[in-house]
Amino acid sequence: MALLSPITTHFLNDGQLMSDELIERGHINRTYMSVIRTDGVTERFIHQHINKFVFPNPPAMMKNIRRVVDHVNAKTPNIAEHLTLIPSETGKDYYLDENNEYWRCFRYVEGSTTFDIVPNPDIAYKAAVAFGSFLNKLSDLPTNDFHITIPDFHNTLFRLKQFDEARRNPAPGRIELAEDEIAFVESNRALAGRLMQIVHNHPEAIRIVHNDTKVNNVLFCEKTLEALTVIDLDTVMPGTVLFDIGDLIRTGTSTAAEDEQDLTVVQFDIEKFAAIIRGFAETTGKSLHPAEWSAMPVCGAVITLTIGIRFLTDYLTGDKYFKTHRENHNLDRCRTQFELVRQMLDQLPQLEKIVAEAKAATV
Ligand code: GN1
Ligand code: MG
């Protein structure tokens, strides 16, 4: 209770904070749920403390998010599927506390649930349709006036540079345990430019994308298991749709948690891959560039490699970026990612066939 009581009143002035709890969500921001009573009505809210090390300009980020929320809601007739961003007493979409820390507030979407591991291809398909529909709703937004919350976010070549730098100056005792993973990066450097080629050669393909399409960023109705809405809009900014397809493949096809330590249970599920490709093809397929179709079979491997490199770099640097909860946590995360990449690349001919079939059904 003590934690949020100085915060919630700046967003919900007339409300009485009944209870709050820290919830385990994400590797970057700190997230809380509150129960607030206003005029006898009890409602739940999500409050987030924004990580300024990762997002140095929270007001600009919140401007992006306000824009996206309003734009998507205006195109979403069913109010149960809306995200509601609550402004603070100043009218801004954040509250700056006395320690110079930024907070924001959303209404909790009641009756919703999320999946960290996708139980079946149908859920994978629905998640892909949810992200694809989100992208369609944003497709008329101009790309040039979005604030770039994190430059080079999915630029694998830039991530390799950060990795090289971390290798040159590792935190003590870190490099020894990571030799196999370092070797894995070295043997897959050729993959790194695959999506950036599109960004550089086909600027006409660039549009506003989500950029953090982890499957648990889709809220599903807990009763019907229909997708309600997508959340976590911190990195909504220009990119290729393949960033989003790739990150959903990374998280939506794995049979294990991102930080699973037993790699024998980490399996890439090709049926879920096919469901994700179908979901994106049906929603965004007609607007995709030929170069995006060509790279689609490897986009999951590229994004999974990219996030794996980021986990490895953070491990080598001493865990400065991602929150960790145990020793070698980032190294464990990196290992699951590289295991998935290995399996995706082993099955590349089958993935190409799945994409070719989806393309034939679409264009
Ligand atoms: C971070 O905090 P979360 O889980 O929403 C990261 C993503 C990674 C993800 C890996 C801003 O997202 O890029 O894919 O961890 N977000 C940022 O699970 O770096
Ligand atoms: Mg995120």
Residue 2 has pLDDT above 70, yes or no: no
Q: 138, 71 in Cβ contact below 8 A?
A: yes
Q: What would the mean pLDDT of 139-164 be, rounded to a whole number?
A: 97
Tell me what the mean pLDDT of segment 59-83 comes to.
97
Reported residue count of the chain is 363
User: Which atom of ligand 1 is least distant from the CA of 25?
Assistant: 4
In the numeric block, which tokens belong to residue 188?
Answer: 């897959």
Residue 127 belongs to domain with CATH number: 3.90.1200.10
Query: Residue 29 belongs to a domain with what CATH number?
Result: 3.30.200.20
Residue 1 has pLDDT above 70, yes or no: no
Tokens of 221: 């109705």
Q: Are residues 252 and 167 in the same domain?
A: yes
Query: Is residue 113, in this structure, part of any structural domain at all?
Result: no
Same domain, 256 and 158: yes
Q: Which distant-in-sequence residues (6+ apart) come within 8 Å of 67 by Cβ?
A: 141, 146
Question: Cα–Cα distances in Å, from 21 out to 28, 32, 108, 180, 207?
Answer: 17, 5, 13, 39, 37
* 330 domain-assigned: yes
Q: Does 142 fall in a domain?
A: yes
28 lines ligand 1 (CB under 6 A): yes
2 Cα distance to chain centroid: 30
Residue 57 located in a structural domain:
yes
Is 251 found in the same domain as 154?
A: yes
Binned at pLDDT 50, 70 and 90, residue 3 comes out as: confident
267/340 same-domain check: yes
115 belongs to a structural domain: no
Ligand 1, closest atom to CA 234? 11
Ligand 1, pocket-test mutation among 24, 27, 312, most atoms within 8 A of CB: 27
pLDDT at 25: 85
Determine contact, residues 174/167, Cβ cutoff 8 Å.
Answer: no
Verify that 178 and 74 share a domain, yes or no: no
Question: Residue 158 has what pLDDT?
Answer: 98
Residue where a domain stops, chosen among 80, 108, 136? 108
CA end-to-end span of the chain: 55
Query: Across all residues in the chain, what is the average pLDDT?
Result: 97
- C-alpha–C-alpha distance, residues 194 and 174, integer Å: 29
Quick check: 237 pLDDT over 60?
A: yes
Residues contacting 81, CB < 8 A, separation 6+: 228, 229
Predicted pLDDT of residue 321? 98
Per-residue confidence band for 189, with pLDDT thresholds at 50, 70 and 90 = very high
> Are 84 and 157 part of one and the same domain?
no
pLDDT score for 344 = 98
Tell me the percentage of the chain whose pLDDT exceeds 90: 97
Predicted confidence (pLDDT) per residue in 246-300, tens digit: 999 999 999 999 999 999 999 999 999 999 999 999 999 999 999 999 999 999 9
Per residue in 296-346, pLDDT tens? 999 999 999 999 999 999 999 999 999 999 999 999 999 999 999 999 999
Please list all protein residues whose beta carbon sits less than 5 angstroms from ligand 2, which is an ion.
212, 232
Q: Among the bound ligands, name the one nearest to the CA of residue 56.
A: 1
Neighbouring C-beta atoms of residue 70, cutoff 10 Å: 12
Please give the pLDDT value at position 363: 76
pLDDT confidence band for 241 (50 / 70 / 90): very high
**Residue 230: its pLDDT value, please?**
98
Q: Do residues 310 and 254 share a domain?
A: yes
Neighbours of 120 (CB within 10 A): 13
pLDDT of 98 over the 90 cut: yes
Domain that includes residue 17, residue range: 5-108
In DSSP notation, 135-156 reads: HHHHTTS-STTS--SSTTTT-H
H runs (alpha helix) in 58-211 = 58-74, 121-138, 156-168, 179-187, 196-201
* Total domains present in the chain: 2
Q: What is the pLDDT of residues 226-236, one digit of tens each?
A: 999 999 999 99
* 224 & 295 share domain: yes
Which of 55, 81, 108 represents a domain boundary (last residue)? 108
Burial 251-278 (b: 16+ CB within 10 A, else e): bbbbebebbbeeeeebebbbebbbbbbb
Looking at the fold, whether 85 and 162 belong to one and the same domain comes out as: no
